[in-house]
Structure 1
């Protein structure tokens, strides 16, 4: 495996322009307005309500208080008013609140702060692209609601048609984040390719998203691998990159994204039931379609499934 060290591009102005390019196109496909007139609402789910433990006390009576970290569209981002948090996760939280017969109270938080706030009872749940891991399961319960996927994206001019398994990536120059789960997986892929007599993967690292996209568009790299949802938004925004495959965060197994709740609080079963109700009546699919995330759909929600192991 070949590794290209991190470097900082001096074309700061060019990189900044790349980030903002095509924002009007993205606005046509993603509603980032505070009004969210297209948000899908859900029916009350009596079975899910009945599954709430009798001893569970909501942070605020009559409300489903949910923490979310606004990391960027399409999952969660500040709307055009710079105050309202919108995206797929807020839409899903709203639908779950509807199913439980509660009013949604969304609390924007920094990603690093959600575990302490959840443990202390500041909010009832976290719906913010939290992956299930065995370590997190020691302190929290989980109700799954999306697949945890990374995306393989190339320029629209690329001749690469599909990346599904290690041999498809042999010899390619792939941009990946240092220290990420996707890097760990691609290192294993490269080792498999080498053992099979194929060329190793050449991993490339850059300081930020702008530099990564610049490298891809200037053909210094052939593929970029990041969380799938982020790249879906960039592809819709800029119209010059496309998906050629996805990679489970738990490869070779599946790893899912879930609602996090306090361990043993008595809410997880109800949230799993609410999610399965949304899947069955089609509300769930409408939410994912709205944010271009149908590829991440689950067929069934589970409570505390196997998660990423401790490394």
Structure 2
């Protein structure tokens, strides 16, 4: 018996064995998106706080079947601007993106049954990169605004606004803007936080309450030091920044969300890519309904940013 006959017989035997195995309940790697997860789907980086949640996400077969063919074959190409913790930051290797935005991108990819790559780009290059087709979507703490909606379509994934940093346990009893009357507040000079501080100070004056003493500094760190050092009772900043600081026990501070300052942040997708918009919308909705979305937020101390359902182009 020659080599070719042996090879043929071996192939026939192997085929029979595979068929028998399939008949007994084992599944082929090509049986569907959910069956390919051990081969196709990426594991979360070990330093990702939500790694356990991400790795537990399994594909939705109906959603996976409707993913654009380019994404099925090439994976989901995501762009972000890394350097705004806890939303986006690098792991200690200096090159692996972690944080809530990369975590959600990875969870969406797993729900759709595809691989994902996350690329760091300068913020202003991200929308052009999506429009050119270089990236499938941008997720980068990007506010959904009417102006941006003129370029790309947003699948809104959080509502974020301003927040207060106060000493651990909130000894000054500051739960909102009205409690700032008669207090000292630190802010970054010439920014949205200073504008809020001045607005709250004006409200206190209008109400006949004690004045707000505003201390202005060039950066968040200097403003935070005023709270930890006792010179200020509160510091106004972005809520996600406050949440990041509050998650560090060494700083001994709490974060307080400033209600009424929230606006939606969205995942930006090229408007004519209707199939991908529906895929991302469906995956995010599935993650919200399963509770996995809430767990991703909690892992990064961002529970207050949660949206109850998926909205497209909700910026006003």
TM-score normalised per structure 1:
0.77
Contact 2:288 2:309 survives alignment (8 Å)? yes
Q: What pairs up with 1:14-93 in 2 under 5 angstroms?
A: 33=47, 38-41=52-55, 42-49=57-64, 58=71, 61-93=73-105
How far apart are residue 278 of structure 1 and its match? 0.2
Cα drift, residue 208 of structure 1 = 2.0
Q: Which residue of the partner structure matches residue 213 of structure 2?
A: 202
- Residue 6 of structure 2: aligned partner: none
Pairs within 5 Å for 1:108-187: 108-156=120-168, 159-164=171-176, 166-187=177-198
**C-alpha distance in structure 2 between counterparts of 1:33 and 1:90, whole Å:** 12
Aligned residue among 211, 217, 233 for 1:222: 233
Tell me which protein shows more helix as a share of its residues.
2
Q: Per-residue CA shift, 1:177-207, capped at 9, x if unaligned?
A: 3343333333333322222112343332212
Q: Match of 1:233?
A: 244
Deviation, structure 1 residue 108: 1.2
Higher Cα Rg: structure 1 or 2? 2
The one-character-per-residue Cα deviations of 1:109-161 (angstroms, maximum 9, x if unpaired) are 22232222222221111111112112211112111111213221112375222
**CA contact 2:75–2:115 (8 Å) conserved in 1:** yes
- For 1:265 and 1:179, the matched residues in 2 are separated by 39
Indicate the structure with greater strand content: 1
> Is 2:202 the partner of 1:191?
yes
Residue of 258, 262, 287 corresponding to 2:266: 258
Query: Which runs of no fewer than 5 residues in structure 1 stay unpaired?
Result: 1-30
Deviation digits for residues 79-136 of structure 1 (CA, Å, limit 9, x no counterpart): 1111211111111100111122211111112223222222222111111111211221
> After the TM superposition, which residues 269-308 of structure 1 pair with which residues of structure 2 at under 5 Å, given as runs?
269-307=278-316
Q: Is the 8 A contact 1:146 1:296 kept in 2?
A: yes
Give the superposition deviation at 1:51: 6.4
Give, in whole Å, the separation in 1 of the partners of 2:233 and 2:183.
7
Give the direction of change, closer, same or farther, for the CA distance of 1:132–1:186 in structure 2 (3 Å limit): farther
CA distance in structure 2 between the partners assigned to 1:86 and 1:133 by the alignment:
25
2: CA distance between counterparts of 1:69 and 1:38?
24
- What TM-score does the superposition give when structure 2 sets the normalisation length? 0.75
- What is residue 21 of structure 1 aligned with on the other side? none
Cα contact 1:162–1:244 (8 A) shared by 2: no
Of 278-287 and 210-219, the range deviating more from structure 2: 210-219
SS, match of residue 312 in structure 2: coil
Match of 2:112 in 1: 100
Q: How many residues align?
A: 270
User: Which segments of 5 or more consecutive residues in structure 2 lack a partner in the other structure?
Assistant: 1-44
Higher relative contact order structure (alpha carbons within 8 Å, sequence separation ≥ 6): 1
Residues 130 and 32 of structure 1: CA distance in aligned 2, closer, same or farther (over 3 Å)? farther
Q: For 1:256-289, what per-residue CA distance to the aligned partner results, in whole angstroms no more than 9, with x for missing partners?
A: 2221112343233332221111010111112112
